[in-house]
Structure 1
């Protein structure tokens, strides 16, 4: 039997959970032990875990958890150089050359711990067992539309979007919120935005397209067929909003360039980079170099009469934390119940050792 330890998320604005109380109960019913760190930011109350049979423990106490505990989380660990002695399950973002990859992998190597990266838990056909892609696409489109609307309502503002502090119970509630801003923007500007989605046939892109249509926008949908010739693509510059939803695995020509966005005739004023490969050396949107946050949603890539603003929030589904968590956790739980004795877990563990060897030798 396993001891799963759900840690508190330290990332600002992160309210999702990879384990909801119903799923904790399922693990406990199968004889596993579940410890849950207290969290004031998680999308469900601590008491619901306790009611499900889990043991509540102090925030951040995973570092002193029994060595056989499996530490379960979503986003990055607290910054530290300490060796990692536990087995961890979370989105580590360290297998594709991202910034900080070597340092994190060295912490595992030094402590003898193992990483099962949630991004690389895959079925035999290569499809991920659980993903936030659809939720990310929905939230990315929502924020992109909000930023565009704010820019119509206050075109002289140097900060085109106020802090996004509100969280939504479900996607319908989010759509209602966005629609009211689009209506106000249309009343002032006389139009709705033109939108292009790249990666439109995937889970992420599909969510983005669906949300746009829900609020009355019919986006241009591009996928592999439209991008196979290689960028940059001047067509992107002729839309008001560009939503990037691709899953980047290898280097590809850039979709847009700094030279292109500085040229005459550009319509584009908002990029919502849902893929958010900011620290990836192969980032196909090399017009910015840092992530944004819910408290500061945009950064300005160009000034002038039509300034271009980029959204690069790397945990967009946290805008709708409860519903996105349920979608993800419903898919993950059957694999947690079988941890670590299936090909899903074996492949992920082998990949961890392969990447550690490649990066650290």
Structure 2
């Protein structure tokens, strides 16, 4: 079942994907040469997280395909849920020698107008944007069995749930908004946990509901299903070109959160919590990971990076290595990626106001 997005979101998403469908020329501009140079990919998180894995996946191949075959290194600059590193990146020279691995947790504070944010996502020059699905799973002691989505939601509405997050405005907010939409209101949130720490806490029984990207779930969590420690319940789904939310291509047998809502309540979700959830679907899935260059980077350098990145993605060895990280999702590049990024961070003012109020009421956190 496909769940229709709300009209404004559907229109913007369809327009963005229509742009993505247009091919970008592959050849980079003559004269761009990084021979003998050192290229740094900033990761505004500590080692081991999703953005770090993403950057290190591309690192050796960019050294091969960027013009001049430069040395490419990854530098972790964590702090403030990526805000510290992103603020520093905002002032980087636009010479093609510095890029950043951007994540949902970088987009959210910008989209919500966090006063600590000094960076402007829309000023950056995207190279590649990679969607990543989100798989939600629970401890079987919650009463969910993974066989009947209506029964599972009703069980989770009654259960005492504990969920982990980095902070009140990090990428985990997508889950909290989905839980709110589904009437799963008895959720205690433990802050200060990275994605890897959340997963470990779940497996130790310290939290009982969690999510992972489709790739991380298949690599690190799915094996525990057979041991009876994990029950996958739903996904966020995937924003399609026609404005609908389709099932995740990595787990097409699983219902989406909006599909679960329709099955439980007999109608499509609506209202501010649903609008906020859709906004986070775009930031959390459609624009989950990306490589970006600093503001003011000349077109010829952006083109060189885009050309090199397309060659990386087409490389047979990269495709083999990246299969479980990037998955079956369509990548977008350059100007097309910029349009999708703009759509993903363009939360309507009334939705943003509701969301700020909800975060304040729920977590006593001022935006």
Whichever of the two has the greater Rg, that structure is 1
Whether these two folds match at TM > 0.5 is: no
TM-score (normalised: structure 2)? 0.36
Q: Taking CA–CA contacts closer than 8 Å with sequence separation of 6 or more, which of the two structures ends up with the larger relative contact order?
A: 2
- Structure with more helix by fraction: 2
TM-score (normalised: structure 1)? 0.37
